[in-house]
């Protein structure tokens, strides 16, 4: 168990500012996910914790110990990469116990730990195989096995599931959670996939351009995004964002979208509304009218694309409530009360 702290950490590659003045505390025993678009500095951040990348300036500590200039091997962390990086000429068993033996562990003890880890990951029957005789999912399990064979202070995962197919990715996600609940080791996990971040994290950190935009529980970030970037990055289908004027408790867009909102303004704003908070209602109850452009059935729910003049809105509707919803028809729309988000149009920051 360990706490990881960043103080004013900067990383430059030549002129590229990869990580920009990072101040951050990663909590002991928690599953923290760094999420953000490609190139935002996630891998760099992780590699700096591991010691695989020097910091340009600033301090990284693990449990109050300044590790900024320690070698990777002296930091007591385990890292799992996207591309597994197994030793091709070693068996699964040898791959898993390698880090134990490399640190001077005894072979007998390593064998005991191997059996435990293999059981945990359901790979006991694969121990004598070579990596090339395994599927992608099995290889990834072995890579995770190698990381957890030791009991390090911190686990680092860099997009470990992105090479797996969708079904396996969801299964492995659940297994990783089960594993972390069991081991309670401080874990830092990097992904560009907001759904993976939402499902895995105790603490979620949204990054962009080398900076932290927001840190919090997934539900807090989903419900109270700090700005329009976080608002549209987190959640799928993404939050609708509509430019318009707020005045005396009423929001109006140029296209004719209207909603009762909190009493601010007159001010140019961006209104955010999640697809599941858009209600399709009879005309008499509606705040405005829209045309149903496209209906995509997902099973129990459907994605409905609405058109209001030149503007498009994405709504999610329960299939059982669809009634007369058909492409081409006019429908009344209102936004669920108190579920709208308002952002300053100029700064894009939450109001
Ligand atoms: P992410 O993992 O979020 O996709 P990275 O941490 O890999 O982002 O990269 C952050 C920024 O640093 C990017 O602009 C990337 O091009 C740059 N970068 C990363 N590694 C290097 C490197 N070894 N040399 C030069 N630039 C790099
Ligand atoms: Mg990366």
Question: Given pLDDT bands bounded at 50, 70 and 90, which one contains residue 1?
Answer: low
Mind giving me the DSSP string for 228-268?
HHHHHHSSSSPPEEEEEEEETTEEE-TT--EEE--S--SEE
> 157 C-alpha to center of ligand 2: Å?
10
Indicate which ligand has the atom closest to the C-alpha of 41.
1
> 324 C-alpha to center of ligand 2: Å?
46
Question: Given pLDDT bands bounded at 50, 70 and 90, which one contains residue 175?
Answer: confident
For residue 36, the ligand 1 atom closest to its alpha carbon is 3
Q: 273 - beta bridge partners? A: 240
Rounded CA-CA distance 204/31 in Å is 9
Q: Is 204 in the pocket of ligand 1 (CB under 6 A)?
A: no
**If you average pLDDT over residues 211-227, what whole number do you get?**
97
Q: Is 13 in the pocket of ligand 1 (CB under 6 A)?
A: yes
Q: Is 87 in the pocket of ligand 1 (CB under 6 A)?
A: no
Count of beta carbons in the 10 Å neighbourhood of residue 111: 12
Mind giving me the DSSP string for 79-124?
EE-TT----TTS-HHHHHHHHHHHTT--HHHHHHHHHHHHHHTT-G
Q: Write the pLDDT tens digit of every residue in 4-51.
A: 999 999 999 999 999 999 999 999 999 999 999 999 999 999 999 999
Q: Is 39 in the pocket of ligand 1 (CB under 6 A)?
A: yes
pLDDT value of position 149: 87
Q: Domains in the chain, ordered, with CATH? A: 4-233 (3.40.50.300), 240-344 (2.40.50.140)
Contact present, 112 and 125 (Cβ < 8 Å)? no
- Asked if pLDDT for residue 59 goes beyond 70, the answer is yes
Q: Is 44 in the pocket of ligand 1 (CB under 6 A)?
A: yes
Q: In what order do the strands lie in the sheet with 267-273?
A: 258-260, 250-252, 240-247, 267-273, 341-344
> 13 C-alpha to center of ligand 2: Å?
15
Pocket mutation for ligand 1, best pick of 36, 41, 157 (most atoms within 8 Å of C-beta): 41
Token pair belonging to 196: 């993976």
pLDDT value of position 192: 95
Contact present, 92 and 102 (Cβ < 8 Å)? no
Rounded CA-CA distance 45/79 in Å is 13
- Asked if pLDDT for residue 172 goes beyond 90, the answer is no
> 43 C-alpha to center of ligand 2: Å?
4
- Residue 340 three-state SS: coil
**If you average pLDDT over residues 140-160, what whole number do you get?**
90
> 51 C-alpha to center of ligand 1: Å?
16
Indicate which ligand has the atom closest to the C-alpha of 81.
2
For residue 34, the ligand 1 atom closest to its alpha carbon is 3
pLDDT value of position 151: 84
Q: Write the pLDDT tens digit of every residue in 313-346.
A: 999 999 887 777 889 999 999 999 999 999 999 9
> 189 C-alpha to center of ligand 2: Å?
11
Mean pLDDT, rounded, of the chain: 93
- Asked if pLDDT for residue 163 goes beyond 70, the answer is yes
For residue 53, the ligand 1 atom closest to its alpha carbon is 23
Which residue from 188, 225, 156, 147 is spatially nearest to 24, judged by alpha carbons? 188
Question: Given pLDDT bands bounded at 50, 70 and 90, which one contains residue 179?
Answer: confident
Q: Which residue has the tokens 């005894």?
A: 106
Count of beta carbons in the 10 Å neighbourhood of residue 315: 26
What percent of the chain stands above pLDDT 70? Answer: 99
pLDDT value of position 258: 96
Q: 296 - beta bridge partners? A: 303
> 26 C-alpha to center of ligand 2: Å?
19
- Asked if pLDDT for residue 94 goes beyond 80, the answer is yes
Protein residue with least CA distance to atom 7, ligand 1: 43
Protein residue with least CA distance to atom 22, ligand 1: 13
pLDDT value of position 233: 96
Among 149-153, 267-271, 279-283, 295-299, the range scoring the smallest mean pLDDT is: 149-153
């Amino acid at each position: 168990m360990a706490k990881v702290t960043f103080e004013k950490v900067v990383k430059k590659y030549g002129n590229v500012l990869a990580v920009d003045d990072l101040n951050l505390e990663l909590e002991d025993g928690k599953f923290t996910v760094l999420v953000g678009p490609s190139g935002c500095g996630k891998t760099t951040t992780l590699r700096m914790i591991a010691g695989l990348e020097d910091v340009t300036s600033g301090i990284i500590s693990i449990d109050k110990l300044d590790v900024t200039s320690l070698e990777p091997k002296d930091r007591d962390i385990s890292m799992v990469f996207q591309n597994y990086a197994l030793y091709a000429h070693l068996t699964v068993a040898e791959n898993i116990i390698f880090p134990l033996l490399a640190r001077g562990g005894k072979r007998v003890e390593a064998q005991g730990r191997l059996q435990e880890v293999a059981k945990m990951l359901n790979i006991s029957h694969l121990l004598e195989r070579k990596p090339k005789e395994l599927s992608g999912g099995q290889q990834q399990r072995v890579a995770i096995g190698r990381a957890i064979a030791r009991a390090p202070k911190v686990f680092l995962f860099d997009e470990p599931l992105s090479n797996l197919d969708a079904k396996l990715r969801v299964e492995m996600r659940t297994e990783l959670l089960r594993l972390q609940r069991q081991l309670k080791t401080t874990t830092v996990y990097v992904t560009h996939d907001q759904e993976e971040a939402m499902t895995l994290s105790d603490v979620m950190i949204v990054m962009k351009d080398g900076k932290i935009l927001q840190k919090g529980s997934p539900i807090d970030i989903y419900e109270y995004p700090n700005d329009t970037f976080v608002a549209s990055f987190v959640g799928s289908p993404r939050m609708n964002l509509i430019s318009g004027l707020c005045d005396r408790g009423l929001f109006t867009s140029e296209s004719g979208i209207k909603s009762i909102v909190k009493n601010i303004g007159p001010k140019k704003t961006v209104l955010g509304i999640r697809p599941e908070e858009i209600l399709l209602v009879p005309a008499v109850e509606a705040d405005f009218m829209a045309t149903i452009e496209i209906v995509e059935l997902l099973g129990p729910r459907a994605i409905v694309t609405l058109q209001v003049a030149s503007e498009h809105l994405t709504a999610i509707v329960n299939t059982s409530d669809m009634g007369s919803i058909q492409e081409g028809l006019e429908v009344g729309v209102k936004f669920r009360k108190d579920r709208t988000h308002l952002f300053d149009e100029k700064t894009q920051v939450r109001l």
